[in-house]
Amino acid sequence: MSDPFLGSEEYGERAHELYNQGQYDEAVEVLREGLSLYPSSAELHIGLGYARLAREEYAWARAGFERALGLHPGQEDALAGLAETLLKVGERARALRCYDEILALGFREDHDLMIQIGRALFREGMFGHARGFFEICTTHHPESPEAAASLGYAAHRLGDEASALYWLRRALDLDGTHSEARIYLGNVLYDRGEYEAALVHFERTEPHEHTDELAIWRIVELKKSIYRLPVGDPELVPWRQRLEELEGDLESVDQLLAEIEAIQPDGTVRDPTQLELFGTLLVELQGMQQRRSTEMHRVRTTRGVTYAGTWEEIVLQMKMDDRHWSEVSLIDYMEQVARKRRAETGVIIPATDAEAFVRGSALAGLLRILR
């Protein structure tokens, strides 16, 4: 790839393009070649730091940013990259000092940098600090939908629901096509029990704009319950197709491994892992639900039907798909199914709560817990 006519900026541009395409290995190679020719280029060291950070090579990333700062003290991108790396390795106090230095250098009006810092802090669960940087951004860029939405996400994670609703709606006022903010707002409204309002926002999104399963399951559930749509209604087809795209079909070996991994030595089922919600920024926004059980699970029945959501949502979906019991309450549904199964097979399925019901159904062979 060597080209004696390439300057350091051109190496940086090439690497930046590869980085944006997710080709981190290739970006590293381009940057290393550029540095072999221009070892004093702080920009190439910064680029290498971010590429290493993307590959989770934190020691190498840290070295790259520190070399850049040695060549160009106070360089804001190097400080931000070093701080993000320090957060990853648990050095929060030093990371915050780096961020304070960026503010002291006068970069409060840098929209992209404030958003970048806020997101880095958000990913590490430092929601209060993240909120501070998002507030700085909204102060200097009041017309930024990204800043408003980000501030809404942080406020929600801090339990400030009123502010979260305000800023999410503000983001949508600024940009009605901001699908991430709209999906988040729909989920917040759903968790508040404002189902009709949630559906209004969900219906203003397209299936391809969803990068996680939770909101789609809620859309299907709400359409079936509010509009009384049957399971096979054409209006539900594109949403179910999107679910299939996101879930993918497990190969038989994967199914077997999932079953084996779910069983502990004492025969009980392990707790499923938590699903991260939303792509792009929303992939980082876990725990949007405020119910007692906030984890996302997935099960598959012996008929091959897959359900996903909280334990309560899974049972609700099962109830809505059962024409015999779709009109009864959730508790009545669990009790009726448990009573019927016991009469037919003698197997006792707990009906005290949704989680016990699903786990009992799995042990009875009625379904398989995939996650």
Confidence of residue 330 (pLDDT cuts 50, 70, 90): confident
- Report pLDDT digits (tens) over 333-344: 888 888 888 777
Q: Between 277 and 173, where is the model more confident?
A: 173
CA distance 48 to 30: 9
| 146, part of any domain | no
The residue out of 86, 107, 128 marking a domain boundary is 107
pLDDT at position 336 is 84
| 186, part of any domain | no
Confidence of residue 134 (pLDDT cuts 50, 70, 90): very high
CB 232 within 8 A of CB 226: no
Average pLDDT over residues 125-138: 96
| 209, part of any domain | no
| DSSP assignment of 106-166 | T-TT-HHHHHHHHHHHHHTT-HHHHHHHHHHHHHH-TT-HHHHHHHHHHHHHTT-HHHHHH
pLDDT at 214 over 50: yes
CA distance 41 to 44: 5
CA distance 61 to 24: 13
| 175, part of any domain | no
pLDDT at 369 over 70: yes
Here the CATH number for the domain that contains residue 2 is 1.25.40.10
- Report pLDDT digits (tens) over 64-74: 999 999 999 99
pLDDT at position 352 is 73
The 8-class DSSP code of residue 282 comes to G
Average pLDDT over residues 325-336: 78
Which residues in 188-198 are b (16+ Cβ under 10 Å) and which e?
A: bbbbeeeeeeb
The residue out of 107, 135, 166 marking a domain boundary is 107
pLDDT at 255 over 90: no
Confidence of residue 275 (pLDDT cuts 50, 70, 90): very low
pLDDT at 250 over 60: no
Average pLDDT over residues 250-261: 43
pLDDT at position 328 is 73
pLDDT at 266 over 80: no
% of the chain with per-residue pLDDT over 70: 85
Average pLDDT over residues 187-202: 92
Lowest mean pLDDT among 132-141, 233-242, 309-318: 309-318
pLDDT at 251 over 50: no
**Four-CA torsion 30, 32, 36, 38, nearest 10 degrees:** 70
Our measurement of the distance from residue 237's CA atom to the centroid of its chain's CA atoms, rounded to an integer in Å, reads 24
Domain ranges, residue 8:
1-107
Average pLDDT over residues 13-28: 93
| 5, part of any domain | yes
In the chain the beta strands, taken as DSSP E runs, fall at: 297-301, 306-309, 367-369
Mean pLDDT over each residue of the chain, to the nearest integer: 84
Q: Do you know the residue count of the chain?
A: 371
| 79, part of any domain | yes
Radius of gyration of the chain (CA): 25
367-369/306-309 β-pairing: unpaired
| 219, part of any domain | no
pLDDT at position 284 is 41
Which residues in 119-158 are b (16+ Cβ under 10 Å) and which e?
A: bbbbbbebbebbbbbbbbbbeebeebbbbbbbbbbbbbbe
Counted domains in the chain = 2
The residue out of 107, 140, 164 marking a domain boundary is 107
Q: Between 193 and 344, where is the model more confident?
A: 193
| 28, part of any domain | yes
In a 3-state reduction of DSSP, which class is residue 245?
helix
Q: Between 3 and 231, where is the model more confident?
A: 231
pLDDT at 283 over 50: no
